[in-house]
Amino acid sequence: MSGGGDDRSRAARLAAGLREFYVAPYRRTFARAQRDEDDLFMMIVLSDMLGVPNPASYYTVELLPLMYDRFHEWHRRMGMDHSPLDHVSCC
């Protein structure tokens, strides 16, 4: 007579293996989509500072301190060697 815990453990391992089997081929696609979405969000939050009128700038100004931590990675990924903002010098 086998214990119920062993069967549950085996089923959990099987479920984890199947999940990995189906998710693995799309992991890179999901990561790229997430990065693109984050880049767009960064652009929306910083658009007023970049000279693009933003009707929601009143609401996004509260997010600026959170975005400064990732600003350097973002502007390098966008192909800008140096910060496009005069008052933010990260490089």
Res 84: pLDDT: 73
Quote the pTM value. Answer: 0.62
The list of the chain residues with pLDDT below 70 reads: 1-4, 86-89, 91
C-alpha distance from residue 41 to each of 5, 24, 28, 54, 86 (Å)? 46, 26, 20, 12, 21
Res 32: pLDDT: 93
Res 2: pLDDT: 54
**What are the φ/ψ torsions at residue 78 (nearest 5 degrees)?**
-80, 0
Residue with tokens 């081929």: 25
pLDDT in tens, 28-53: 999 999 999 998 988 888 888 878 88
Res 3: pLDDT: 58
